[in-house]
Amino acid sequence: MKKGKLALALLAIVFVFAFKANSYAQQYPVLYFCEKYGSSGEVGVSDRFTSGYLTVMVKADGPLGLRDCSIQLDKYNCSTGLFSYYKKFKYSVEPDMKYVFFEKNDESDMSFESPGIYRVFLLDHNDRTVASGLVEIIP
- Going from N- to C-terminal start, the domains of the chain cover 25-138
Q: Are 131 and 58 within 8 A, CB to CB?
A: yes
- Per-chain mean pLDDT for the chain: 86
Instruction: Determine the average pLDDT of the residues in 17-24.
Output: 47
pLDDT tens by residue, 22-81 = 445 556 899 999 999 999 899 999 999 999 999 999 999 999 999 999 999 999 999 999
Integer Rg of the chain from CA:
21
Q: Is 75 helix (H, G, I), strand (E, B) or coil?
A: strand
- Find residue 50's DSSP bridge partners: 138
The architecture (CATH level 2) of 25-138 comes to Sandwich (2.60)
- How far is residue 42's CA from residue 15's CA, in Å, rounded to a whole number? 41
Using alpha carbons, select from 113, 126, 120 the residue that is nearest to residue 56.
120
Which are the contacts of 32, defined by CB distance < 8 A and separation ≥ 6? 45, 47, 56, 57, 59, 133
Q: Are 107 and 89 within 8 A, CB to CB?
A: yes
pLDDT of the residue at 30: 97
pLDDT of the residue at 106: 85
Higher pLDDT, 107 or 77: 77
pLDDT of the residue at 14: 40
- How far is residue 11's CA from residue 40's CA, in Å, rounded to a whole number? 52
